[in-house]
Amino acid sequence: MNIIQIFKQFPTQESCIKHLELARWKGDPICPYCDSTNTNPLVKEMRHHCNGCRKSFSVTVGTIFHDTKVPLQKWFLLIALMLNAKKGLSACQAARDIEVRRPTVWSMMHRIRKSMVDNGELLNGIVEMDETYVGGKPRKGNKKDDDDNTPSQRGRGTKKIPVVGMVERGGKVKTEKATKDTLKSKDLNELIRKYINPSESVLITDEYKGYNKAASLLPHARINHSIEYVNGLIHTNTIESFWAIVKRGIVGQYHRVSAKHLDKYLDEFCYRYNSRNLDSSVLFGNTIANMLRP
Ligand SMILES: [Zn+2]
């Protein structure tokens, strides 16, 4: 869905509510307070009255849209803009695009990101795994810290935030923000167990010593980047292209992402990557459905 399609399909608040009601209830309202289906429509603001608990409710109660003062059309526009923004969308840009104050847009975008979550399916087939370091405020300080940032460390050992990524070739990507500065075999093996189906996968990584024990879990091939970048099927180019998108997005659109919010930005980048082959109106519908989940 592009913004023209949003304007055409959802010209009014009423048309947006109708869409949400159909998506949430398939046309038969259910009271979000007592689950009763014995309800009557109220004319005022397209709300409903529950004959069970005698409360009134709208379709947005208990969802990500709950209590919003922003017209739903602007929400729909923002969702479409975020889904289409391959390199990410800054809150400043979005604020100009939908004419809403920047702090409001910032919190709307975070609410939308909550719906951009992974479905939990394990990765299969050829899976590339790699770590990178993104965002975060560089630590000021003594010379020792500066030394830690020397290029010879290739990112590892720097003070940025470590993120681990796994991508199924031709399939989905998963990322996780690491909780420690240095990633050891134990940490990386835990992520392999969490995200990859070991009986139907081959893992490909570089020579980082943190992967030394991966072969105890599943077949494991490595590419030695000091010698070559590709050896037939053995390479980590897919995950590295994903890191390039993330880094360009974070540097270009979000400038500096704090450790606290990094997971949410990563969810957004993964969600867009993982739905790259979906029809845009299906993706829009799925995202709305996620946002309506109480
Ligand atoms: Zn009720």
Between 255 and 84, where is the model more confident? 84
**Domain covering 123-274 assigned CATH 3.30.420.10 in the classification:** yes
Length of the chain: 294
User: What's the CA gap between 198 and 196, in Å, rounded?
Assistant: 6
Q: What is the mean pLDDT of the chain?
A: 89
Distance (angstroms) between ligand 1 centre and the Cα of 70 equals: 26
User: How far away, in angstroms, is 55 Cα from ligand 1 center?
Assistant: 6
Question: Is 90 exceeded by the pLDDT of residue 158?
Answer: no
Q: Is the dihedral of CA 19, 21, 25, 26 positive or negative?
A: negative
Residues 6 or more apart whose Cβ sits within 8 Å of residue 108: 68, 70, 75, 78, 100
| CA 111 to centroid of ligand 1, rounded, Å | 26
For residue 74, how far is its CA from the centre of ligand 1 (angstroms)? 29
Q: Which residues lie closer than 8 Å to 181 by C-beta, 6 or more apart?
A: 157, 159, 162
* Cβ partners under 8 Å of residue 254, min gap 6: 88, 90, 135, 265
Where do we find the tokens 């109660």? 61
Contact present, 132 and 242 (Cβ < 8 Å): no
Cα 220 to ligand 1 centroid, rounded to whole Å = 55
Q: How far is the CA of 54 from the centre of ligand 1 (A)?
A: 6
Residue 250 binned pLDDT confidence (cut-offs 50, 70, 90): confident
Most confident of 55-59, 229-233, 246-250: 55-59
Cβ neighbours around 96 below 10 Å, total: 12
Residues 6+ apart with CB under 8 A from 72: 10, 13, 16, 17, 20, 65
Rounded to the nearest whole angstrom, what is the distance from the C-alpha of residue 49 to the centroid of ligand 1? 8
Which residues, at least 6 apart from 200, have a Cβ–Cβ distance to it below 8 Å? 124, 125
Distance from the CA of 56 to the center of ligand 1, in angstroms? 8
Which of residues 242 and 151 earns the better pLDDT score?
Answer: 242
pLDDT at position 249 is 86
**pTM exceeds 0.85 for this model:** yes
Q: What is the pLDDT of residue 88?
A: 87
Angle, helices 72-84 vs 91-98, to 10°: value is 130
Q: How far is the CA of 219 from the centre of ligand 1 (A)?
A: 54
Other Cβ atoms less than 10 A from the Cβ of 188: the count is: 23
Name the least confident of 135-149, 156-170, 275-289: 135-149
> 92 and 99 in contact (C-beta within 8 Å)?
no
Distance from C-alpha of 46 to C-alpha of 120, rounded to nearest angstrom: 36
Q: Cα–Cα distance between 164 and 196 in angstroms, integer?
A: 13
As a whole number of angstroms, the distance between CA 72 and CA 62 comes to: 15
Give a three-class secondary structure readout of 228-275: CCCECCECCHHHHHHHHHHHHHHHHCCCCCCHHHHHHHHHHHHHHHHC
Amino acid in position 153 = Q
Check residue 70 and report its DSSP letter. Answer: S
How many whole angstroms separate alpha carbon 145 and alpha carbon 75?
Answer: 43
pLDDT band at residue 156 under the 50/70/90 scheme: low
Cα separation of 239 and 211, whole Å?
16
Ligand 1 midpoint to CA 33 (Å): 5
The pLDDT value recorded for residue 143 is 41
| CATH 3.30.420.10 location in the chain | 123-274
CA–CA distances in Å: residue 80 to residues 139, 220, 280: 36, 39, 9
